[in-house]
């Protein structure tokens, strides 16, 4: 619904007060990703098997190489700008929602295994919050990022988590995550067992898609897993 002139005037007053306080407030996401295909290719170039491991998020900023990417990370893959996951001075963030995003182009077998077994954790200094399986982030009752609950195609079955719908789970009031300036943001995605990051979930057969019969995932395509925070960004005004 389009805001009224009165509502727009109130928003302008809030912005002017923020200017007087020396900061501005922006709404938007904070996210980071890893490329599971790149990590698997690095760990086991002959089989593309990704061993059981914990994978860091937000510690490699945009413009740097890491997290399975063989090139500099782009803003479509990461929005953290400070080195080592540290928010730049003069910038703070309040996360009101959290979600784990598995793109729709991921192979169904890979996505199913990730959704069944992968867990997410938040870490700050010596504190660690094990948030649980990623199926619950965003919302477990709907299936992982999927609105599809039925099919009209005969002899078919419902595959959850296939349409890439980005849903986030909102933190209850008072449970938001606060990131002051110059603090390190650190999340973990954990796979407790090894997995072949290929199109069919089997060991790499030596060829890449779209070669007929190939099961390898191209480096340019990748196999992303993304942790997505939504909330408010506070920036100190410099002029």
Q: Bigger pLDDT: 4 or 56?
A: 56
Query: Average pLDDT for residues 25-46, to the nearest whole number?
Result: 92
Predicted local confidence at residue 169, as pLDDT? 85
210 upstream amide cis, omega within 30 of 0: yes
Distance of CA 140 to the CA centre of its chain: 16
Give residue-wise pLDDT tens across range 43-72. Answer: 999 999 999 999 999 999 999 999 999 899
CA–CA separation, 137 and 228 (whole Å)? 10
Exposed, middle or buried: residue 230 (CB in 10 Å: 0-12, 13-18, 19+)? middle
pLDDT at 128 exceeding the cut of 90: yes
Predicted local confidence at residue 162, as pLDDT? 53
DSSP the chain: -PPPHHHHHHHHHHHHHHHHTTEEEEEEEEEEEEEHHHHHHHH-TTT-EEPSEEEEESSS-TTS--TT-SSPPPTTT----SGGGBPPTTEEEEEEEEEEE--TTS-HHHHHHHHHH-EEEEEETTEEEEEEEGGGSS-GGG-TT-------STT----SS-S-----EEPPTT--EEE-TTPBP-EEEEESS-EE-SSSSS---S-BTTSTT--BPPTTT--EEEEEEEEEEEEE---
What percent of the chain has a predicted confidence (pLDDT) above 90?
43
Query: Average pLDDT for residues 9-33, to the nearest whole number?
Result: 74
Predicted local confidence at residue 238, as pLDDT? 57
pLDDT at 22 exceeding the cut of 70: no
Predicted local confidence at residue 239, as pLDDT? 46
Per the prediction, the chain carries an average pLDDT of 83
Predicted local confidence at residue 9, as pLDDT? 74
Query: Average pLDDT for residues 188-211, to the nearest whole number?
Result: 93
Contact 21, 156 (CB under 8 A): no
| Most confident region among 23-32, 42-51, 125-134, 142-151 by mean pLDDT | 42-51
Torsion of CA 153, 100, 48, 160, to 10 degrees: -10
pLDDT at 197 exceeding the cut of 90: yes
Query: Average pLDDT for residues 143-158, to the nearest whole number?
Result: 56
Query: Average pLDDT for residues 174-200, to the nearest whole number?
Result: 91
Contact 177, 95 (CB under 8 A): yes
Residue 116's nearest CA partner among 27, 201, 202 is 201
In the block, tokens 């729709």 appear at 104
Indicate the length of the chain as a whole number. Answer: 239
Domain ranges of the chain: 26-236
CA angle 65, 124, 184 (to 5 degrees): 45
| Most confident region among 81-85, 114-118, 120-124, 141-145 by mean pLDDT | 120-124
């Amino acid at each position: 619904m389009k805001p009224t002139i009165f509502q727009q005037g109130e928003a302008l007053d809030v912005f002017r007060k923020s200017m007087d306080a020396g900061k501005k407030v922006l709404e938007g996401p904070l996210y980071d990703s890893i490329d599971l295909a790149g990590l698997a290719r690095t760990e086991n170039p002959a089989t593309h098997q990704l061993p059981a491991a914990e994978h860091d998020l937000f510690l490699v900023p945009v413009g740097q190489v890491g997290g399975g990417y063989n090139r500099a990370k782009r803003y479509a893959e990461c929005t953290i700008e400070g080195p080592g996951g540290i928010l730049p001075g003069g910038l703070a963030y309040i996360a009101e929602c959290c979600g784990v995003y598995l793109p729709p182009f991921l192979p169904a077998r890979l996505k199913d295994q990730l959704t069944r077994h992968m867990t997410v954790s938040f870490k700050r200094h010596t504190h660690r919050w094990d948030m649980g399986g990623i199926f619950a982030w965003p919302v477990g009752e709907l299936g992982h990022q999927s609105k599809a609950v039925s099919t009209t195609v005969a002899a078919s079955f419902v595959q959850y988590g296939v349409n890439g719908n980005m849903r986030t789970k909102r933190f209850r009031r008072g449970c938001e995550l606060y990131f002051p300036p110059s603090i390190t943001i650190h999340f973990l995605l954990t796979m407790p067992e090894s997995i072949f990051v290929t199109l069919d979930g089997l060991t790499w057969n030596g060829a890449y898609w779209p070669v007929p019969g190939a099961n390898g995932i191209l480096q340019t395509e990748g196999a992303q897993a993304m942790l997505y925070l939504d909330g408010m960004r506070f920036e100190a005004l410099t002029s």
